[in-house]
Structure 1
């Protein structure tokens, strides 16, 4: 039997064994005499082109939404090293605080309540005039759940804060302070309360709020009871509730 010059090209799957290779040699000899070209393909390892099937394809993520961008710092990129005469921008409250923040705070016994771990969230609302704001704390302490409703005034030109808190545990406090910053992007608020009464005792608090990143800040607190010296009232971390934001170490 003879074949014309356009004889078919055939694909033969051959097991990777000595017998398989011997069989292929015999088949090749016969095919050569008939004018048929054979392509050796190892059994179990045929390529997509040989089998007519598509290989594994990467998942199509073209339609997936991009992850939300994390907030950025407030110091502009000057395109050069900072200098002593560079001005630190006024703190932008609306770019930093609005949103939901979670926190953990371990406190000692005090007129404000028993010592232990306080956990919860604080929701800062966006203002409408660039100076008046509100916030609500919902928390769980050693003696149960409580809330705090806050009214906040921020005077950017004076770099000053005033905050009034109404706590469901039975006390109110007024605190005021100033905010400063540096060209490294760190801002710090120094608060002090007016004397207020809690469970029959006069209390004062001093708080330092360190805005260490766009998504984390640390509150360091000290307390004075009945006119006594200020002592440690615990340190707490607040972190913004955003995808990809984890608790600081």
Structure 2
């Protein structure tokens, strides 16, 4: 069995800084809510900006396409679809993905909890292909205004195998991010996946 496969997950990512007493409009090309322009070079002890999940994720659907190899979750081919985020109140959100792949259409529903001050995101993922799992992530940021979400799942069963997944999501543009995925099958060594699928948010085209 090929231990390298690609798991399509709903997009989750983020961008943003600590709140400011006098918020201003960001420069062109900078995501609203990111680290402020201090008017000087950054220093190693500058406070890292906190993610603003609402400002980045909520709104129009995210679109994606992903070329996947064969694995425990399905056949090889291209997966395409959209993911939409909704605030549930408090620290919680729901993401719904409608997708089509080599084995037909499927849906993914995620319930996410985001503790901004602790820089932690959890999510419970339910996939219509017959499996569910839980993940937790540390949220990191660098002073160059890039953000990383590092997810790791609890073991779960799919396709007759026990799987564990790690995702690294990196925000690298105001309306796009990239995801790298690694997986362990039946307690084997976690292997990096080749390829980095893109996610793009089409605010005007996708709104209804």
- The alignment's TM-score, normalised by the length of structure 2, stands at 0.79
175, 182, 190: which one aligns with 1:215 = 175
CA contact (8 A) 1:73 1:185 kept: no
CA RMSD of aligned residues (A): 1.9
User: Does the CA-based 8 Å contact 2:33-2:52 persist in structure 1?
Assistant: no
Report deviation, 1:214: 2.1
Q: Does 1:128 align with 2:89?
A: yes
Number of equivalenced pairs: 176
Task: Compare CA radii of gyration and give the structure with the larger one.
Answer: 1
**What is the aligned partner in structure 2 of residue 48 from structure 1?**
none
The answer as to 2:183 corresponding to 1:202 is no
Pairwise CA distance, 1:127: 4.3
Show CA shifts across 1:199-241 (max 9, x none). Answer: 2111111100001122111110011111112223452111111
Aligned counterpart in structure 2 of residue 85 of structure 1, from 45, 49, 61:
45
The structure 2 residue matched to 1:157, chosen from 105, 117, 128, is: 117
Give SS of 1:94's match.
Answer: helix
Alpha carbons 1:162, 1:174 under 8 Å: kept = yes
Secondary structure of the 1:146 match is strand
Q: Please state if 1:231 is matched with 2:191.
A: yes
1:61-140 alignment runs, 5 A limit: 71-72=31-32, 74-99=34-59, 100-129=61-90, 131-140=91-100
Q: State whether residues 186 and 211 of structure 1, in contact with CA within 8 Å, keep that contact through their aligned partners in structure 2.
A: yes
Deviations 1:93-113 (A, max 9, x none): 111111310011122111111
Greater helix share, 1 or 2?
1
